[in-house]
Amino acid sequence: MPSLPLNIIEFVQNVDLLDDQTLSATQICCLKSVYGLPLSEPELEIYQRGTGRATYDQREQREATFIAGRRGGKTGKIAAPIVCYEACRDHGIPPGEEGVVMLLAPTIDQARIAFKYIRQYFEKSELLRERVVGRTKNEITLDNHIVIGCYACTYDRVRGRTAVAVVCDEIAFWADDVNAANPAEEVLAALRPSMATVRNAKLIKISTPYAKSGLIYNEHERRSELNFPVWRSTTFELNTTLTPEMFEAERRDNEEEFRREYNAEFVDAINPWIVPEILNPCVARDRRELPFQSDLPYYAALDAATRGNDFALVILHKNGDGTIVMDLRKVWEGTRTAPLPFEGVLGQVAGILQCYGINTVTGDQFYSDAVSQHLLKLGITYNLLPFGPTTRGNIFSGLKHLLVQQRIELLDDPDLLRELRSLREERTPRGVIDVRPTSGKDDSAVALALAANEAVSHKVATPFLMGSFNPLRLNPENCIMNGVCINFPTCQDDGYCLGYVKQILVPISHEAMVRPPVGS
């Protein structure tokens, strides 16, 4: 292997190393600007246009930001070459100490996208391949005690390790609220000390733009005063094999999305769903859960999941003045390797609902048949609300209306509040407002919005459905409503319920309520 120092461009174009002869003029200029290499007159014009700076700061940078359009090669042509180059340099790490080149992204799956490019570079080059002494799904270890790894952007991944280079991929989509888990500013603050004593360390941030808020947007607005370059380049400047005409149909469908995704512009189509000034007054400080009260109408909603996402249940009630009060949030979390025991979770859901005197729960179409059938066996009716293109926008609009008017009291639940703060409004190609998380999960937020929607749309909560066929043919001793039924324990339940709950306080006659089994 030719000994370094090769400069970054020589390293990329060397036929025995990365052997990439396809870099565009803008991609070359981006790489040169990180390492303080001389620029030609045409390259200087590209630099001035891309960074907004009148003069070129010809020195090797420890930090740089690239805001780029999709398919412009920001990952494969800029980030991946920097990672390979830095992994092969001498960073002055003491003998016996291990250095790491980190690929960070909102999720490990996203981080693996950049890692795929790096793995391909090392597999294609015999000289680079010979330096590999260890390999796992997410890491490559080299003979110079440098580890290249891809990780999710969390504190525990960045602390306690000597980072020689870090690539923060799609950082515009990292959490940016100070109260969020692993907000971008705090993750970077934790990273910088681990790079402080490293010779020629690199902190590279790359992303397509998102909302007019957060770390990347703030850097772009202040880029003339920062001591490192902040690039903003369109897809077509970075990748000259593409032209705007190729994406004319996408531009016609959604002009703002085209400007954001390909022209790398920060546009107004995406805005924070809620601001702290509206959310914070609706939080009942230090309230984690409320017990059942027999004289209140309760509503429940769930967002089902088996792995990856949370299975979330939210219960709330409505006071006499119309104020909605959140009582409980319960979450079950599965993983790809250990999915949730579906029926076991639904059994727990039914048990919690019974404690609150609820026999109906609302949810979407995800696994709706299985959820509905299993809950029905447990005496719970599943109220299906199919999600269409406008559903999320509608239910979150209703929840936001309650928050603005301070007609809802939320639990002081950090995870729920984090989800609510991460939500963003964005306009779809059809012009519909959708609400999605910037990063992370939104399962509890969805369940809350569904439950609030039910509470607002019903003046009186639906009581336990007496007279309906009970497929379990429960006897009074194990009836799920024996704690609130005024006829317990004298009822003669044999498949049909002859009683009624205390919410109504009027027993229903056998003749009025008994119905034949379904299908008879």
Closest alpha carbon to 149 in 183, 114, 193: 114
- Identity of residue 177: D
Q: Which residue has the higher pLDDT, 426 or 54?
A: 54
Amino acid 137 reads: K
Question: For residues 410 and 333, which has the higher predicted lDDT (pLDDT)?
Answer: 410
Say if CB 66 and CB 231 are below 8 A apart.
Answer: yes
- Write the DSSP assignment of 382-443 as a string of letters: EEE----TTHHHHHHHHHHHHHHTT-EEEE--HHHHHHHHHEEEEE-TTS-EEEEESSS--H
Q: In the predicted model, what is the mean pLDDT of the chain?
A: 82
User: What pLDDT was estimated at residue 479?
Assistant: 54
Q: Which two tokens stand for residue 206?
A: 């790359």
Which amino acid belongs to residue 441? K
pLDDT top residue among 93 and 470:
93
Q: What is the pTM of this model?
A: 0.60
CB atoms within 10 A of CB 510: 11
Contact predicate 297/462, CB 8 Å? no
pLDDT band for 495, please (50, 70, 90 cuts).
very low
Question: Contact 74/31 with Cβ under 8 angstroms?
Answer: no
Identify which has the larger pLDDT, 232 or 306: 232
Q: What is the pLDDT of residue 156?
A: 66
Alpha-carbon span 452 to 497, nearest angstrom? 29
- Cα distance between residue 456 and residue 410, in whole Å: 15
**C-beta neighbour count of 382 within 10 angstroms:** 20
Q: Are 450 and 313 in contact (CB under 8 A)?
A: no
pLDDT score recorded for residue 485: 54
pLDDT of 510:
32
Structure tokens at 407: 């007609």
pLDDT over 80 at 157, yes or no:
no
Report the distance separating Cα 322 and Cα 455, nearest Å. 9
State the Cα–Cα distance between residues 27 and 7, nearest whole angstrom.
15
Cα 232 to Cα 144, 237, 272, distances in angstroms = 34, 10, 23
Amino acid, single-letter form, for residue 516? P
Residue 189 and residue 196 in contact, taking contact as beta carbons nearer than 8 Å: no
Q: Report the pLDDT averaged over residues 474-480.
A: 50
pLDDT category at 489 given cuts 50, 70, 90 is: low
Query: Do residues 158 and 190 make contact, with C-beta atoms less than 8 angstroms apart?
Result: yes
Residue 68: in which H helix or E strand, if any?
A: strand 63-68
Average pLDDT, integer, range 302-319: 84
Q: What is the pLDDT of residues 341-394, one digit of tens each?
A: 878 889 999 999 999 999 999 998 877 888 888 899 888 999 988 888 888 888
How many alpha carbons lie under 13 Å from residue 382 in its C-beta half-sphere?
26
Instruction: Work out the end-to-end distance of the chain between its first and last CA atoms, rounded to an integer number of angstroms.
Output: 82
- Please state, in angstroms and as integers, the Cα–Cα distance from residue 420 to each residue in 26, 266, 277, 279, 417, following that order: 39, 22, 13, 9, 5
Residues in the chain: 520
Q: What pLDDT is attached to residue 22?
A: 94
Question: For residue 294, which of 64, 505, 39 has the smallest C-alpha distance?
Answer: 505
**What DSSP assignment string belongs to 80-125?**
HHHHHHHHTS---PPTTPPEEEEEEESSHHHHHHHHHHHHHHHHH-
Among 207, 177, 4, 187, smallest CA distance to 86 is for 4
Task: Give the DSSP letter of residue 469.
Answer: B
Cα gap 217→267, rounded to integer Å: 11
Position 419, amino acid: E
Cis peptide before 94 (omega within 30 of 0): no
269-287: average pLDDT: 84
What pLDDT does 439 receive? Answer: 64
Tokens of 296: 């209140």
pLDDT band at 507 (very low <50, low <70, confident <90, very high): very low
By percentage, how much of the chain surpasses pLDDT 90? 46
Amino acid code (one letter) for 237: E
Contact 72, 212 (CB under 8 A): no
Contact 436, 442 (CB under 8 A): yes
Q: Are 198 and 91 in contact (CB under 8 A)?
A: yes
Residue identified by tokens 């926008």 is 393
Q: Which of 39-43, 365-369, 469-473 is least confident? A: 469-473
pLDDT at 97: 87
**Pairing assessment for the beta strands 360-363 and 381-384 based on DSSP bridges:** parallel
Is-contact 316 452, C-beta < 8 A?
Answer: yes
Model confidence pLDDT, tens digit, residues 165-202? 999 998 888 766 544 455 788 888 888 888 888 999 99
- The answer to whether 68 and 210 have CB atoms below 8 angstroms apart is no
User: Does the structure show a pLDDT above 50 at 517?
Assistant: no
pLDDT of res. 320: 86
Torsion region of 168: left, alpha or beta (phi above 0 gives left; psi -120 to 50 gives alpha): beta
Confidence at residue 5, expressed as pLDDT on a 0 to 100 scale: 75
Average pLDDT over residues 258-266: 89
- Write down the pLDDT at residue 464: 43
Q: For residue 401, give both structure tokens.
A: 């209306």
| Amino acid symbol at 204 | I
On the question of pLDDT at 509 being above 80, the answer is no
How confident is the model over 200-217, as pLDDT tens digits?
Answer: 999 999 999 987 777 888
Name the range with the highest mean pLDDT among 119-123, 376-380, 414-418: 119-123
pLDDT at 336: 64
